[in-house]
Amino acid sequence: MLRRRRAPLLLAAGAGVALAASFAASPSADGRGAPSALHGVARSSRAMYTIGFVIVDYKYSLRGLAPGSADYRVKLSEVHLRSAKKLLKLCEVNRGFYVKAGQFVSSLRQVPKEYVSTLSCLQDQATPCKFQDIKIVIEQTFGKDLHDIFLDFDEHPIAAASIAQVHRGRLNNNQEVAVKVQYPGLERRMKLDIMTISLLSKSVSLIFPDYRFEKILLEFERTMSMELDFTKEASNSKRTASCFRKNNVVKVPRIFQELTTKEILTMEFCYGHKVDDLDFLRKANISPTKVAKALIELFGEMIFVHGFVHGDPHPGNILVSPQGQGRFSLVLLDHGIYKELDPKFRVDYCKLWKALILLDAQKILELGEQFGVGKYAKYFPLIFTGRTIDSKSALGTQISGEEKMRIKQDLSSLGMDDISSFMESLPPDFLVILRTDGLLRSILGNLGVPRHVRLLAYAKSAIYGLEKHSISESGSINHISLRVKTNISYFHLRTRVGLAGLLVQFNDCKHKVMDKLRWILWRISLGWYRPLM
């Protein structure tokens, strides 16, 4: 009862804090402080009302139902869907960082599917800012007239996101550039929005003690702070370009440092289409499988070898640029969100993938203890390879009906307290990995490529990541022998995954033959079949 009484008081106190923060954070010199503050209060109040509604819905809709029962699962799914729709509406109305928060949640594969499917539409949702406001930001930042800086500048943005929009321009030396401009007043609004979301998160955890998502919120706040400083994005871009300077397939746009500040980023303009645009790939005679392979090898190298990971690889941030005769380059955009992995975590994650490929259950559980997830380590194979830890099905193949049933029964016993406990127990680096991998798998699904493409690319990168670690520990003396061992180990893993791929093709052919035989037998039974002479 105490928790129930405290909830309204917490929300009321939150409204007061939001009001005070709005007035404190809003400028008054231009006479627009009060309207801006009222706008902030309206956004915060709207968020608190929505979260309050969601809390009440969960609390009373599930009352009296036994957790894990069939009725409980059906009702829980219904509440998930209603709540996700409420949150979607909140994000659409409040916009800005609420849209960003919705995008962040929808990219996590570990949240209920109702939230992922409902909030995923936010990935392509953004309303451009008026050009006059963008022009003012550019001119005030550089202290010059817009046309003294650019020979041409298109007033219509070529892309708009939740924190900035991009315009196409031309410098005085005829160099084509893309100019990313942050929306005015964004940092001020972010502080209030983060404060509101944090307060609501604490309120939910008080009412539902088993729902703890503080780490996710902290990770979201970290990524937002990074995205608001375009000088950091420029630095990330240069570092990534250096990591892949020998890779002819990867293209990172060149940064024009003299026209880059915290609010404005000027970069080389690159042509291309979204990485999962199948119609474009077909017209350009580019193989979707080759694109998928190049993409997953790029991110595999980032994660396992360099330990410097692009945290937002949605299709709009990765372009395919045709190079003629079926060749292409991958243009990597938006370097605002990056995560530098802890060296020990990177090595352990390499070991985890090696264990996943080799079906080494004992090693998986051992690494789970090192990651701090305890009993939840048994779900690593399910999360990353789609199989159980004791699976007998070949890697990369469809699991058996019996195994599907076991997975369904096992997952049905998990409550939101298990999911939140799992997410809270993960190291911060793991949250970035899960989000990035989720977005990549979505792209690969859109490209229609076999699942073993991803498994093999990650296996290869994990082995070379372990080689890098061994070399750094032993020096260059044993470099040749380490390279030989690495190649043998990779060949072993490649054979495993390759055989799985052949088995997939064999099963596909078998099913096609069986379907054809059934069709012929059915036609014969009806007396309609006439073999060709």
Q: Which residues are catalytic?
A: 312
| Pair 391, 364: CB distance under 8 Å | no
Q: What is the 3-state secondary structure (H, E, C) of 11-45?
A: HHHHHHHHHHHHHHHCCCCCCCHHHHHHHHHHHHH
CA distance 134 to 128: 10
Instruction: Specify the length of the chain in residues.
Output: 533
Q: Comparing C-alpha atoms, which of 434, 443, 445, 313 is closest to residue 384?
A: 434
451: phi then psi, degrees, rounded to nearest 5: -70, -25
**305 and 465 Cβ atoms separated by less than 8 Å:** yes
- Position 367: which residue type? L
Question: Three-state SS string across 375-434, please?
Answer: HHHHHHHHHHHCCCCCCCCCCCCCCCHHHHHHHHHHHHCCCHHHHHHHHHHCCHHHHHHH
**Separation of alpha carbons 259 and 179, rounded Å:** 9
Place of tokens 């029962």: 69
307 by Cβ neighbours in 10 Å (0-12 / 13-18 / 19+) ranks as: buried
What is the C-alpha to C-alpha distance for residues 46 and 50, in angstroms, rounded to an integer? Answer: 6
Q: For residue 210, report the phi and psi dihedrals to the nearest 5 degrees.
A: -80, -10
- The three-class DSSP label of residue 353 is helix
Relative to beta strand 308-310, strand 338-340 is antiparallel
For 441, the token pair is 């798998």
Number of C-beta neighbours around residue 29 at 10 A: 6
- Which two three-digit tokens encode residue 199? 């307060």
Return all residues near 437 (Cβ < 8 A) that are at least 6 apart: 109, 384
DSSP 245: T
Q: Are 105 and 111 in contact (CB under 8 A)?
A: yes
**Phi and psi, residue 201, nearest 5°:** -65, -45
Query: What element of type H or E holds 310?
Result: strand 308-310
Residue 319 is inside which H or E element, if any? strand 318-324
